[in-house]
C-alpha cells in the first residue's frame, strides 16, 4: 500500500494489560482412527448421512474396542446449508449414526470448516468434557450446477461490497496472487527490468510456470491415492494450456466441487492405548482470522516466527492482499504450543489447503517453510515434492518437506466440510505408517514420518487453522 | 408418465432433469437413485443499514470512504466502515478522490451463475492517495493486456442507479 499512508496507532490504554496467559494444553489428546469416502464430482446414490456413515464405519473397523457406545459426543461440520437445502443437517447425521442423545454441535467456518471441526473435537477432549469425541464432516456440492455452486461459495464474501461485482472466489484469489507476484517476482527476479508493464508481464509468466509445478506435484501424487477425485499425470505445459478461469489462474491450478465425507476420532491418552497401538498425538492447535473483505486488509508489519528477523522484511507492507495473515497467526499459535521453532526441520510433511496453486505457494511463506518472497524459488527447489516420484521436473531438494503428499485439494477434491478432516485422516495414516494398508499402494508412504501439520483455510484467508500431529507410540 | 429414464452418467441425469424434471441414476453396483429437480428462489428485504450513505452517495455520483474520528488515529478507509477497525472509534464519511491506481487486478473468464453472462469482466482493487485501505470495483473500457499494477484509473457512476456497488466502476484515467 502507499508507503506514505500513516498506519493507525491504537489508542493507548491507561495501564498496559497483563501479558496473555500461556496456552493451557489441558489433557493430552490423541487421534486414533479416521475414515474418508472417495471424493467425487457427484455421489447421487448417497446422501450426506450415508456418506458420513460409510466413513464412520470404516474408522471403527480400523481399531479395537471402539464401538459407538464408547463415543461421548460429536462435532459435525458442513459449510453451506444452500448445497442441500436442508438446514440443521448435522442433526440428521447425528441421528443417522445413532448418536442421540449425546452432545453435538455443528461447526461452520467457511473453507476451514473441517479444520475447525477437528479442533472442536480436540477441545472437547482436552477440556475433559469428553473422553472420546467423533469429528465428522461432509459436503454434497453436486446438488446444484457448478456455476451455481460458485455463487453459493461467493456468498461467503461481503454481499454489500464484493459479491455483486461478480462474486467469484477464483477472481478473489487471482487478485491476491497478482499482487503477490508484483511484490515478490516483479520486485525480485525482474527488478532490473525498467519498463514497468513489461516487467509485470514477465513476472506473471514466470509465476504461472511455477504455480504449474504445484499442480503437477499434487496431481501426480494423487495417482497413488485411491480417494482422490482427479489424479492425473500432467506437465507444466498441460497446466498452462488448461482453460483460463480468472487471469492468471488456469483450471488445473484450481480445486473443484466435490461430494465427500470424512471422520476423525479423538480421545484421551488411556483410551487411545486401548483402541490402538499406534495413536497419534495432537501436539498443537492454532487458528487465525482476517477481514472478510480483501479491501480492508491492513498494511503493517510481519508477525515473526522464531527463525525470522525483522530485518528480513524491512520494506514489506503486510499482509496487504498478497499474504494470509490468518495463516501466519494460526501457524504461530500451533507452533508455539507444539514447541516448533524450525518447521522445516521439525515437521516431516504438511497437508495444506491448496484450493489454488497460488495459495499453496503463499502458504509456504505463511507457515515459515521459507521467508516471504521465497515461495516461488522454494517450489522450484523441489523441497515440497516427494523424493521417489517422477514428476518430469528437476527437483534436487525433493523430500525436504513434502507438501500435500496425498495430492491436496487440487487433486483430491474439496467437499468443504470434509476437507480439513480428510487432511487429518491422511496425516494420521502417514504417521501410523499405514498408507499402504489404506490406499492399497504404499508409494505415498514417507519413511519414518514422525510429525506432520494439517492446515485448513477459509475464503481469501479470512480464517485458517493449523494442527500439529505427532506419532504417539 | 411411467418410471423416469435411467442413466449411468451424472451429466446425463442433469440433462434429463432439465428436460423432464426427474431421472434415475444407476451406480456401479446397480443401485438406482431417484433424482428430481427442486427449484428454490427467494427475495430478501436487504438493508444496507450503516453502509447506506455510501450507496446513496453513488446515486449522487459521490465516492465516500470513511475516516476515524479519533484524533490519534484518523485512519482513512477506502471501503467505508462505520467504526474504526484499529481503535474502535466511530468514523465519519470522507469523500475519496475520483482518481486512483490499480493495487491489483484480474480478468474473470468465468463467474458465478448470476454473472456468467457478463464474462469476461475485470475486477480491480483500487488504491487512493490519502487512504489506508483499498476498494474493490469493476474495471471497464480496457482488456486484460492493458492492465498493470499502478495503472491510473478514474471512477464512473451509473446514470440510472440500481443502489448497488455496480453503480460505480473504474476506467483507465485519461492522460
Dist CA A348 CA A433 (whole Å):
13
Q: What pLDDT shows up at residue A4? A: 46
Tell me the mean pLDDT in the region A137-152. 94
**Residue B90 DSSP one-character state:** B
Q: What pLDDT shows up at residue A2? A: 47
Give the DSSP H or E segment for A471: strand A463-471
Contact A165 B79 (CB under 8 A): no
| All residues at 6 or more sequence positions from A253 whose CB lies less than 8 Å from its CB, including other chains | A211, A212, A214, A215, A239, A242, A356, A357, A358, A410
In chain B, whose CA is at the least distance from the CA of A251?
Answer: B110
Tell me the mean pLDDT in the region A452-464. 97
Nearest to A164 by CA among B157, B105, B165: B165
**Residue B95 DSSP one-character state:** E
Contact B10 A1 (CB under 8 A): no
Instruction: Using CB atoms, pick whichever of B77, B118, B149 lies closest to residue A200.
Output: B149
pLDDT class of A3 with cuts at 50, 70, 90: very low
* Cβ atoms of A193 and A199 closer than 8 Å: yes
SS3 content of chain B, % helix, strand, coil (to 5): 20, 35, 45
Residue B8 touches chain A, beta carbons under 8 Å: no
Name the pTM for this structure.
Answer: 0.96
Contact B109 A145 (CB under 8 A): no
Dist CA A471 CA A452 (whole Å):
9
Indicate if the pLDDT at residue B128 is higher than 60.
Answer: yes
Which of A 18-37 lie inside 8 A of B, CB atoms? Answer: none
Instruction: Using CB atoms, pick whichever of A9, A41, A196 lies closest to residue B150.
Output: A196
Nearest to B21 by CA among B33, B11, B36, B10: B36
Which neighbouring-strand residues pair with A104? A74
Mean pLDDT for chain B?
96
Dist CA A58 CA A60 (whole Å):
6
Residue that has been written with the C-alpha cell 454481499 in this structure: A159
DSSP-assigned states of every residue in A354-417 = -SBHHHHHHHHHHTTSS-TT-HHHHHHHTTTS-TTS--SS--TTTTSS-B-TT-HHHHH---HH
The sign of the torsion formed by the CA atoms of A303, A307, A309, A313 equals negative
Which of B 39-58 lie inside 8 A of A, CB atoms? Answer: 40, 46, 48, 51, 55
Shortest CA gap A327–chain B (Å): 20
Nearest to A110 by CA among A297, A249, A251, A292: A292
* Beta pairing, strands A451-458 & B64-68: unpaired
Secondary structure of A176-234 as H, E, C letters: HHHHHHHHHHHHHHCCCCCCHHHHHHHHHHHHHHHHHHHHHHHHHHHHHCCCCCCCCCC
> What would the grid cell of residue A260 be?
465427500
In chain B, whose CA is at the least distance from the CA of A8?
Answer: B73
Instruction: Using CB atoms, pick whichever of B74, B114, B125 lies closest to residue A295.
Output: B125
CB count within 10 Å of CB B152 equals 13
Contact A148 B113 (CB under 8 A): yes
Q: What pLDDT shows up at residue A249? A: 98
The domains located in chain A, with CATH, are: 30-144 (3.40.47.10), 148-256+285-471 (3.40.47.10)
In Å, how far are A158, A346, B97, B156 from B58, measured between CA atoms?
18, 53, 13, 10
Shortest CA gap B136–chain A (Å): 6
pLDDT class of A427 with cuts at 50, 70, 90: very high
ipTM for the assembly: 0.96
Chain A residues in contact with B112 (beta carbon < 8 A) = 147-148, 150-151, 154, 166-168
Dist CA B170 CA B133 (whole Å):
17
Instruction: Using CB atoms, pick whichever of A165, A186, A244 lies closest to residue B136.
Output: A165
Dist CA A16 CA A10 (whole Å):
12
Helix ranges, A86-158 (H): 89-96, 113-126, 146-154
What confidence tens digit (pLDDT) does each residue in A190-244 have? 999 999 999 999 999 999 999 999 999 999 999 999 999 999 999 999 999 999 9
Counting Cα atoms < 13 Å in the Cβ hemisphere of A407 gives 29
Question: Residues of A112-128 as b/e, b for ≥16 C-beta within 10 angstroms?
Answer: bbbbbbbbbbbbbbbee
Which of A 143-202 lie inside 8 A of B, CB atoms? Answer: 145, 147-148, 150-151, 154, 159-162, 164-168, 170-172, 174-176, 178-179, 182, 186, 196-197, 200
What confidence tens digit (pLDDT) does each residue in A350-408 have? 999 999 999 999 999 999 999 999 999 999 999 999 999 999 999 999 999 999 999 99
In Å, how far are A30, A188, A296, B111 from A303, measured between CA atoms?
30, 22, 18, 34
Q: What pLDDT shows up at residue A167? A: 87
CB–CB contacts below 8 A, A to B? 186
Indicate if the pLDDT at residue A7 is higher than 80.
Answer: no
Indicate if the pLDDT at residue A8 is higher than 70.
Answer: no
pLDDT class of A20 with cuts at 50, 70, 90: confident
Contact A246 B109 (CB under 8 A): yes
Nearest to A321 by CA among A214, A157, A160, A178: A178
Dist CA A384 CA A402 (whole Å):
4
A contact test, residue of B25, B71, B105, B108 with most A CBs within 10 A: B108
Residue B72 touches chain A, beta carbons under 8 Å: yes
pLDDT exceeding 90 applies to what percent of chain A? 94
What confidence tens digit (pLDDT) does each residue in A103-121 have? 999 999 999 999 999 999 9
Reply yes or no: is the peptide bond before residue A319 cis, omega within 30 of 0: yes
In Å, how far are A54, A127, A226, A467 from A37, measured between CA atoms?
7, 30, 10, 22
Contact A8 B110 (CB under 8 A): no
Mean pLDDT for chain A?
95
* Cβ atoms of A284 and A334 closer than 8 Å: yes
Indicate if the pLDDT at residue A54 is higher than 90.
Answer: yes
Longest dimension (CA), chain A: 69
pLDDT class of A1 with cuts at 50, 70, 90: very low
Chain B residues in contact with A11 (beta carbon < 8 A) = 70, 72-73, 87-89
> What would the grid cell of residue B85 be?
477497525
Instruction: Using CB atoms, pick whichever of B75, B86, B116 lies closest to residue A147.
Output: B116
Locate the domains of chain B by residue range: 6-36, 49-172
pLDDT class of B21 with cuts at 50, 70, 90: very high
Dist CA B88 CA B86 (whole Å):
6
Indicate if the pLDDT at residue A450 is higher than 90.
Answer: yes
What confidence tens digit (pLDDT) does each residue in A261-284 have? 999 999 999 999 999 999 999 999
* Cβ atoms of A176 and A460 closer than 8 Å: yes
Dist CA B91 CA B71 (whole Å):
11
Tell me the mean pLDDT in the region A297-326. 96
Residue B164 touches chain A, beta carbons under 8 Å: yes
Indicate if the pLDDT at residue A15 is higher than 90.
Answer: no
In chain A, whose CA is at the least distance from the CA of B133?
Answer: A296
Contact B104 A160 (CB under 8 A): no
Q: A285 — phi, psi (to 5°)?
A: -135, 145
Q: What pLDDT shows up at residue B149? A: 98
Residue A81 touches chain B, beta carbons under 8 Å: no
Chain B residues in contact with A150 (beta carbon < 8 A) = 110-113
CB count within 10 Å of CB A3 equals 7
Dist CA A395 CA B43 (whole Å):
54
Shortest CA gap A388–chain B (Å): 34
Chain B residues in contact with A45 (beta carbon < 8 A) = 25, 27, 29, 31, 33
Residue A448 touches chain B, beta carbons under 8 Å: no
Dist CA A309 CA A371 (whole Å):
10
Dist CA A323 CA A182 (whole Å):
12
A contact test, residue of B104, B139, B169 with most A CBs within 10 A: B104
> What would the grid cell of residue B37 be?
429437480
Shortest CA gap B104–chain A (Å): 5
Tell me the mean pLDDT in the region B128-146. 97
* Cβ atoms of A453 and A467 closer than 8 Å: yes
Residue A1 touches chain B, beta carbons under 8 Å: yes
| All residues at 6 or more sequence positions from A328 whose CB lies less than 8 Å from its CB, including other chains | A288, A302, A303, A319, A366, A367
Amino acid at each position: 500500500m502507499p508507503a506514505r499512508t500513516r498506519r493507525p496507532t491504537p489508542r493507548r490504554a491507561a495501564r498496559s494489560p497483563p501479558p496473555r496467559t500461556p496456552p493451557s494444553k489441558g489433557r493430552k489428546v490423541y487421534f486414533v482412527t479416521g475414515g474418508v469416502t472417495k471424493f467425487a464430482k457427484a455421489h447421487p446414490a448417497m446422501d450426506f448421512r450415508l456418506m458420513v456413515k460409510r466413513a464412520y464405519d470404516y474408522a471403527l473397523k480400523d481399531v479395537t474396542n471402539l464401538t459407538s457406545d464408547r463415543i461421548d459426543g460429536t462435532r459435525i461440520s458442513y459449510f453451506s446449508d444452500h448445497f442441500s437445502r436442508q438446514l440443521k443437517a448435522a442433526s440428521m447425521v447425528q441421528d443417522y449414526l445413532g448418536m442421540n442423545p449425546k452432545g453435538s454441535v455443528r461447526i461452520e467456518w467457511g473453507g476451514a470448516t473441517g479444520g475447525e471441526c477437528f479442533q472442536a473435537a480436540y477441545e472437547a477432549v482436552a477440556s475433559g468434557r469428553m473422553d472420546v469425541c467423533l469429528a465428522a464432516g461432509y459436503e454434497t456440492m453436486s446438488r446444484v450446477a457448478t456455476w451455481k455452486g460458485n455463487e453459493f461459495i461467493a456468498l461467503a464474501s461481503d454481499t454489500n461490497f464484493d459479491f455483486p461485482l461478480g462474486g467469484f472466489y477464483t477472481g478473489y484469489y487471482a487478485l491476491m496472487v497478482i499482487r503477490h507476484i508484483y511484490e515478490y517476482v516483479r520486485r525480485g527476479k525482474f527488478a532490473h527490468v525498467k519498463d514497468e508493464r513489461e516487467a509485470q508481464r514477465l513476472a506473471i509468466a514466470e509465476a504461472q510456470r511455477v504455480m504449474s509445478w504445484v499442480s503437477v506435484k499434487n496431481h501426480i501424487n494423487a495417482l497413488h491415492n485411491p480417494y482422490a477425485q482427479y489424479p492425473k499425470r500432467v506437465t507444466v505445459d498441460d497446466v498452462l494450456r488448461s482453460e483460463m478461469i480468472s487471469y492468471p489462474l488456469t483450471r488445473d491450478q484450481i480445486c473443484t466441487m466435490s461430494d465427500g465425507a470424512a471422520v476423525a476420532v479423538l480421545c484421551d491418552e488411556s483410551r487411545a492405548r486401548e483402541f490402538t497401538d499406534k495413536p497419534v498425538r495432537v501436539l498443537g492447535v492454532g487458528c487465525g482470522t482476517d477481514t472478510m473483505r480483501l479491501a480492508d486488509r491492513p498494511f503493517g508489519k510481519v508477525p515473526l516466527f522464531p527463525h525470522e528477523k525483522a530485518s528480513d522484511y524491512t520494506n514489506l507492507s503486510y499482509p496487504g492482499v498478497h499474504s494470509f495473515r490468518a495463516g501466519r497467526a494460526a501457524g504461530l499459535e500451533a507452533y508455539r504450543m507444539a514447541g516448533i521453532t524450525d518447521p522445516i526441520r521439525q515437521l516431516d510433511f504438511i497437508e495444506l489447503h491448496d484450493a489454488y496453486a497460488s495459495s499453496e505457494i503463499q502458504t509456504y511463506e505463511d507457515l515459515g517453510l521459507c521467508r516471504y518472497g521465497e515461495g516461488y524459488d522454494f517450489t522450484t527447489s523441489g523441497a515440497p515434492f516427494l523424493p521417489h516420484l517422477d514428476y518430469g521436473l528437476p527437483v534436487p531438494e525433493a523430500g525436504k518437506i513434502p507438501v500435500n503428499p496425498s495430492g491436496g485439494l487440487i487433486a483430491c477434491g474439496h467437499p468443504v466440510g470434509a476437507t480439513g478432516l480428510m487432511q487429518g485422516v491422511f496425516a494420521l495414516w502417514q504417521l501410523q505408517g499405514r498408507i499402504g494398508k489404506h490406499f492399497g499402494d504404499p508409494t505415498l508412504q514417507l519413511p519414518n514420518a514422525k510429525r506432520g501439520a494439517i492446515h485448513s483455510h477459509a475464503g481469501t484467508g479470512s480464517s485458517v487453522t493449523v494442527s500439529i500431529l505427532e506419532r504417539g507410540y | 408418465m411411467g418410471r423416469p429414464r435411467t442413466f449411468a452418467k451424472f451429466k446425463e441425469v442433469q440433462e434429463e432433469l432439465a428436460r423432464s424434471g426427474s431421472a434415475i441414476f444407476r451406480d456401479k453396483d446397480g443401485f438406482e437413485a431417484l433424482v428430481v429437480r427442486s427449484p428454490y428462489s427467494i427475495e430478501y428485504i436487504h438493508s444496507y443499514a450503516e453502509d447506506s450513505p455510501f450507496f446513496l452517495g453513488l446515486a449522487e455520483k459521490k465516492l465516500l470512504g470513511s475516516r476515524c474520528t479519533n484524533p490519534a488515529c484518523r485512519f482513512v478507509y477506502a471501503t467505508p466502515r462505520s467504526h474504526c477497525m484499529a481503535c474502535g472509534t466511530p468514523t465519519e464519511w470522507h469523500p475519496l478522490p475520483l482518481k486512483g491506481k490499480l493495487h491489483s487486478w484480474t480478468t474473470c473468464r468465468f463467474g458465478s451463475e448470476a454473472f456468467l453472462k457478463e464474462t469476461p469482466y475485470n475486477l480491480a482493487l483500487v488504491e487512493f492517495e490519502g487512504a489506508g485501505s483499498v476498494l474493490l470495483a469493476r474495471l471497464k473500457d480496457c482488456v486484460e493486456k492493458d492492465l498493470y499494477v499502478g495503472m491510473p484509473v478514474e471512477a464512473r457512476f451509473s446514470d440510472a442507479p440500481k443502489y448497488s456497488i455496480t453503480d460505480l466502476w473504474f476506467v483507465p484515467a485519461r492522460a
